[in-house]
Each structure stands twice: as C-alpha cells, then as structure tokens.
Amino acid sequence: MQEFGGNVAPLSVVGMFLNYTGNHILHYISTVMRRKVFYPSHRVTGIQLLQNGEVLVSTVRKQCVVTKNEKNGHTVFSEQETQVSFRAKAVVVGNGGY
C-alpha cells in the first residue's frame, strides 16, 4: 500500500490487505488467546442488545449430511439447517463474498 502514497489505492489491493490482516488476527486469537471467535458456515439472522450489555446472536448453521440409501446403497448428500443462538460480549459485523 506504500507504493500508492497519497493516491487512492485500488479496491482489490485494499480488500487483499484487509483479508490478510483479518486472517492474521483470527490466527493470533485462536492460537495465543485460545478463543474461538469465528464460526464458519453460519448465517446471522438476528442481533439483539440485552439489558446487561451482552449481545444475543441468532444464526442458521448449514451442514452437509452424508447418508447411505438403504434401498440401492447409493450415497446421498443433503444440507441440514440448524438454528443456533448464543450470547456474546461483542460482535464484529463483516460482509464477505462467496
């Protein structure tokens, strides 16, 4: 980012920098602090601020389920959605592409 000096940096460079930084922060938190702060495959459906200052987060977790069809023995892949709610002291909201 230094090579752009006072000029506007391209959005792709800014995105790459933020992705790189975010990955390092997550790695640091998970290895040094031994805390899980990232929940992959979750889609947030609601965020509520509670009276005690905590945040109630409602999510939908998507899981891939692999079963065997008993009639013909074929493997069947399906998706299963589960409602998950948890309390947090803080929430980081991000919007990423997939």
Helix (H) or strand (E) holding 81: strand 75-88
Q: Domain range holding 75? A: 40-90
DSSP annotation of 8? P
Domain count, the chain: 2
Task: List pLDDT tens digits, range 22-40.
Answer: 888 888 888 888 877 777 7
Say if residue 54 is in the same domain as residue 86: yes
What would the two tokens of residue 93 be? 């909201």
Predicted local distance difference test score (pLDDT) of residue 97? 54
Q: What residues of the chain score a pLDDT lower than 50?
A: 98
Residue of 61, 62, 55 whose CA lies nearest to 79? 62
78 three-class SS = strand
Say if residue 46 is in the same domain as residue 76: yes
